[in-house]
Amino acid sequence: MKTKNSRFDSLVARYYPAVYGFASRFTDDPREAIALTRHAFNAARKPLRNLGDQTAVATVLLSAVIRAGLTAA
């Protein structure tokens, strides 16, 4: 049986490189990109629970990066 945490951990493992890549292009600062990526996964933890569609997961994560980046600016 997969627990909720292991499902989330698999999503992080799967999407972290793409989300970090997007964040690093969005900010052009590696430290800020790491912070935005972490924030995106933390902010999207609840919405991601109910998503199964890969496009929806990517949309939620990238939107979280953008929102976090805009509020940090």
Domain count, the chain: 1
Query: How many distinct helices (H) and strands (E) make up the chain?
Result: 4, 0
Q: Is the pLDDT of residue 3 over 70?
A: no
Identify the CATH number of the domain in which residue 12 sits.
1.10.1740
Domain boundaries, position 59:
4-72
- The token pair at 33 is 């990109």
pLDDT tens for residues 6-64? 778 888 899 999 999 999 998 989 999 999 999 999 888 887 777 667 778 888 888 88
| Per-residue pLDDT tens digits for 35-49 | 999 999 988 888 777
**Residue 60 and residue 28: Cα distance in Å, rounded?**
21
Contact (Cβ atoms closer than 8 angstroms) between residue 30 and residue 20: no
